[in-house]
Amino acid sequence: MTNPSHRWITQLDGSNLPDKALIGGKAWSIARMMSLGLPVPPAFVVTTEACRAFLRDGAFPQGLPEEMATAIARLEQRTGRTFGHGVKPLLISVRSGAPVSMPGMMDTILNLGITRDTEAALVVECGDGRFARDVHRRFYDLYAHIVLKANIDVFPPDGDAASWNRQIADATGAGLPETVYAQLMAAVRAVFESWNSRRAKRYREHHGIAHHLGTAVTIQAMVFGNRDDSSGTGVVFSRNPLTGDPEPFGEYLARAQGEDVVSGKFTPNVLSTMKLRVPNAYQGLMAACVILERENGDVQDIEFTVQNGELYLLQSRAAKRAPAAAVRIAVDMVREGMIDEVTALDRVTPEQVRLLLAPRLAEGQAAQAQILASGEGACPGVGAGVVVTSSDEAEIRAKAGEAVVLARPTTSPEDVHGMLAAKAVITETGGSTSHAAVVSRALGLPCIVGCGVSMLAGLAGRTVTVDGALGHIFAGQLEVVRPDETADPRLTDIAQWAARRSPLKVYRPSEAPSELVIDLNAVEGGEDPKRLPTLIRGYHGARGGAITSDEGVRAAVAEKLRFVVGEPVLPLLIAAVRAKASLNVSSAATDEGAQ
């Protein structure tokens, strides 16, 4: 589409699907949803070509401001609202969108178009003065931090535009640009400039992305879920991301804006309340789930808003999922013919299977045992041992072969050596962001924090079992079991697919051949994955040490071992398949480089 009057700006209306290199990834997915016939708030894009011209000349290309005015007029027409004035004000979002996503790019500006006048109009329209004021405050907050890079802690909610503008003037020497157009152009400029931020530049260099590509700017009409009783906002997953159950799963909050859900200010309701309140929008949403999941070949996480009964999709992306869901969804989708086995293996990581098969308390153990103390579970997992109250002691006793649980009032960097030696960590005070919680999670160490002051004194010297998921410390050594990977039909399906593609065999310890096997537990440096290639070279198989880590399996594949020994088997098989794929890619790259 080469319309000379639209040299720098492209309207997104679903009539075509412009090149991703021209409009960037975010606009491209908006255009794609539109072309699938899905409802998306109207939007347009300042193209990467405009960015390139800006970066070359250090100024906006000729004609861009005029095109911007035309594009905004078109947006006003499409929404029936007006920008910066009028009784039905148009508010817009401004976001960066490079063809490839990268760090260091400008964050999204929301609510641009709010002024003293349009705030007043919004009060009338929504009948909610507090909301209109908050829209205004959020705009100041985002604009000051993102565009002006002002060093301001908070914009007090009980202030108003004049007071917030004074705060900005005090911090930066000048207030906000006067007109909404000037604010918009400054935001576009800030997006363009973020292309050359330190982080973005480095990222491109490391990933071999050309510096001249430039970023696009997506400008989209905002919709509001708090207009009336037939408005609301929510998020839907095309399948349950916790269990993998193939039914849409989500939350809906009537008369609310997206941030209310995200910030946890209100507890949203399940989707069935949406079906009752806004049945048409609900039907549209269910249809969108099917279409987007089919088109993208993966579970979708869709953010949406209902404005006056009308559904708008804001974003759709592959959903994050819990390990159990990852397995179920991958296998179900193969059975449904939606993806092939190779893709399924790509969707389940060795770590997810490890977590799924992690040791846990045997059934009934928790119910029978005596709870000595409880706190906030900071890292799941089960660990048992004698309670020691100093990190030095934990280290010494663990070295002597004893299982210890480290109990501290709180932990600090001085305790890390003790934590490394312990089977579990418990603290008297602190919450989920405390040092103990953070470090334990980094180590994958069962941890309970905030068990209460004077907990230590009662526990020191006792043998306990810590369940970091439940947040309980039990008396004695409880029985721990590992879930059976051969008992779950979905896991056995994946294991078959992986075994067919794995370049090496994985044996359980009891079944392993004994010829030409190196036991890495018996070799110095065997626990260091970096040293494995030289240690295992020439053997048929390896066991112990770091061989069961992803890096260990990768070394085994690279050194063309015939087998590794470890349990559970499935994570190792998946790691082997992944290692083969990535080694093929890097050897192809080397071959290319050699030619």
Partner 1 sequence: MNDRHVVLHGLAIKKHAAPQEVADITGLDIGTVARLLAEEEGRRRVVTAAGKFMLTGPAQVALRAEYSRVYADQRASIAMSEAYGQFEKINAELKQLITDWQTMDVGGKKVRNDHSSTDHDQQLIDRLGTLHERAEPALKRMAKELPRLSIYPRKLIAALEKAEDGAIEWVSDAKIASYHTVWFEMHEDLLRILGRERDE
Q: d(Cα 15, Cα 27) in Å, to the nearest integer?
A: 14
Selected from 300, 305, 316, 434, the binder of partner 1 by CB under 8 A is 434
Q: Which is nearer to partner 1, 71 or 404 (CB)?
A: 404
| Pick 477 or 582: Cβ nearer partner 1 | 582
Query: In sequence order, what are the beta bridge partners of 377?
Result: 448
Cis peptide before 99 (omega within 30 of 0): no
Query: 256 near 233, Cβ under 8 Å?
Result: yes
String of contacts with partner 1 for each residue 253-292, x by CB under 8 A: ---------------x------------------------
List the one residue out of 110, 104, 103, 130 whose CA is nearest residue 119: 130
DSSP 143: I
Q: Counting contacts by CB under 8 A, is residue 443 touching partner 1?
A: yes
Binding-site string for partner 1 from residue 180 to residue 219, where x marks contact by CB under 8 A and - marks none:
-------------------x--xx--x-------------
Out of 249, 252, 282, 507, name the contact with partner 1 by CB under 8 A: 249
Contact 241, 328 (CB under 8 A): no
Could you list the beta-strand ranges (E) of 184-326: 216-221, 232-237, 249-254, 269-270, 300-307, 310-318
Nearer to partner 1 among residue 251 and residue 519 (C-beta): 251
Q: Which is nearer to partner 1, 68 or 448 (CB)?
A: 448
User: Can residue 349 be called a binding residue for partner 1 (CB under 8 A)?
Assistant: yes
Report the nearest approach of partner 1 to the CB of residue 169 (Å): 20
153 counts as binding partner 1 under rule CB under 8 A: yes
State in angstroms the smallest separation of the CB of 16 from partner 1: 27
Contact call for residues 406 and 416 (beta carbons, < 8 A): no
Work out whether 326 is an interface residue with partner 1 (CB under 8 A).
Answer: yes
Nearer to partner 1, 121 or 314 (CB): 314
Interface with partner 1 (CB under 8 A), residue from 84, 99, 241, 552: 241
Please, which of residues 351-390 interact with partner 1 by CB under 8 A? 351-352, 355, 379-380
Q: Can you tell me the distance from the alpha carbon of 301 to that of 448, in angstroms, rounded to the nearest whole number?
A: 31
**Contacts of partner 1 in 64-123 (CB under 8 A):** 101, 103-104, 107
CB of 467 to partner 1, least distance (A): 14
426 φ/ψ angles, rounded to the nearest 5 degrees:
-130, 145
Q: Which of 136, 435, 554, 580 binds partner 1 (CB under 8 A)?
A: 435
Alpha carbon distance 386, 404 (integer Å): 5
> Beta 447-449 vs 424-427: how paired, if at all?
parallel
Interface with partner 1, residue 582, by CB under 8 A: no
Would you say 23 and 48 are in contact if contact means Cβ atoms under 8 Å apart? yes
Q: Which of 72, 325, 382, 577 binds partner 1 (CB under 8 A)?
A: 325
Q: Kindly state the number of chain residues that form the binding site for partner 1, as judged by CB under 8 A.
A: 54
DSSP letters of 224-261?
Answer: -TTSSTT-EEEEEESS-TTT--SS-EEEEEET--HHHH
Told to check if 433 binds partner 1 by CB under 8 A, we report: yes
DSSP per-residue codes, 450-508 = ---TTHHHHHTT-EEEEETTTTEEEES---EE---TTS-HHHHHHHHHHHHH-SSEEE-
Q: Least distance in Å: CB of 204 to partner 1?
A: 11
Amino acid identity of residue 186, one-letter, is: A
Q: At what angle do helices 180-194 and 48-57 cross, to 10 degrees?
A: 80
416 binds partner 1 (CB under 8 A): yes
Give, as one character, the DSSP assignment of residue 80. Answer: T
CB of 197 to partner 1, least distance (A): 9
528 binds partner 1 (CB under 8 A): no
- 439 scored as a contact of partner 1 (CB under 8 A): yes
Task: Tell which one of 213, 338, 420, 475 touches partner 1 (CB under 8 A).
Answer: 420
- Site for partner 1, rule CB under 8 A: 101, 103-104, 107, 151, 153, 199, 202-203, 206, 237, 240-242, 249-251, 268, 317-323, 325-326, 349, 351-352, 355, 379-380, 410, 412-414, 416-417, 419-420, 429-435, 437-439, 441-443
